[in-house]
């Protein structure tokens, strides 16, 4: 009886959590990590291995991996009803508003131009840009280039940006 009375409250709390829980998009070229993480329970990763591209899904305790380069089975021809449907297009302003709703949580760029003289000339410029933007934008002399970016958003923020713009 108590569970039946508490069900609407539990449902509203779960719905609010899903609505406001963070969604992370992580791009890390140094570790070949490209993933989307939702609710800390679900992840989608793009993994490269021996000239193959894999898509790995993880939802709670279940996970699977699929190869993106394998041939898919042929699909049936769509019926006339699906062909007759008019596609709705999303305006550029709405897409731009949703894009602006993303927050950059981590940003790091390490660049090496391969020439020590060019690196030395551009080092002060990159240092000034790094201090001006409060982001890690550096020139290294190690011969490596890497980009690390972590975006955060929530379903509520994306819906707000889409509806009210």
Task: Tell whether 64 is covered by a domain.
Answer: yes
CB 131 within 8 A of CB 89: no
Count structural domains, the chain: 2
User: Which is more confident, 161 or 83?
Assistant: 161
Task: Tell whether 41 is covered by a domain.
Answer: yes
pLDDT of residue 156: 95
Question: pLDDT tens across 110-141, in order?
Answer: 999 999 999 999 999 999 999 999 999 999 99
If asked whether residues 42 and 106 sit together in one domain, one would say no
Structural domain range at position 152: 91-165
Mean pLDDT of 43-67: 86
pLDDT of residue 90: 82
If asked whether residues 95 and 131 sit together in one domain, one would say yes
Question: pLDDT tens across 58-117, in order?
Answer: 988 888 988 887 766 666 666 656 555 667 788 899 999 999 999 999 999 999 999 999
Mean pLDDT of 38-54: 83
**Whole-structure pTM value:** 0.78
**Cα distance between residue 7 and residue 88, in whole Å:** 37
If asked whether residues 113 and 46 sit together in one domain, one would say no
pLDDT of residue 72: 65
If asked whether residues 48 and 108 sit together in one domain, one would say no
Specify whether the backbone of 36 is left (phi greater than 0), alpha (psi in -120 to 50) or beta: beta
Residue at token pair 């889409």: 162
If asked whether residues 97 and 135 sit together in one domain, one would say yes
Of 53, 56, 57, 46, nearest in space to 70 by CA: 53
If asked whether residues 98 and 49 sit together in one domain, one would say no
If asked whether residues 153 and 107 sit together in one domain, one would say yes
pLDDT of residue 83: 56
If asked whether residues 64 and 122 sit together in one domain, one would say no
């Amino acid at each position: 009886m108590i569970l039946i009375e508490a069900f609407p409250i539990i449902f509203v709390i779960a719905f609010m959590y899903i609505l406001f829980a963070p969604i992370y998009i992580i791009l890390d070229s140094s570790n070949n990590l490209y993933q989307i993480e939702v609710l800390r329970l679900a992840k989608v990763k793009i993994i490269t291995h021996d000239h193959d591209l894999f898509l790995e899904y993880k939802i709670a305790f279940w996970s699977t991996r699929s190869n993106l380069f394998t041939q898919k089975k042929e699909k049936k021809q769509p019926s006339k009803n699906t062909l007759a449907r008019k596609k709705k297009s999303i305006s550029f302003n709405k897409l731009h508003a949703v894009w602006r709703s993303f927050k950059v949580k981590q940003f790091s760029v390490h660049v090496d131009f391969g020439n020590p003289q060019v690196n030395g000339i551009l080092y002060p410029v990159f240092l000034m840009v790094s201090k001006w933007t409060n982001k890690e934008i550096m020139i290294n002399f190690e011969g490596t280039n890497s980009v690390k970016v972590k975006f955060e958003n929530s379903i509520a923020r994306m819906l707000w940006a889409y509806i009210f713009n």
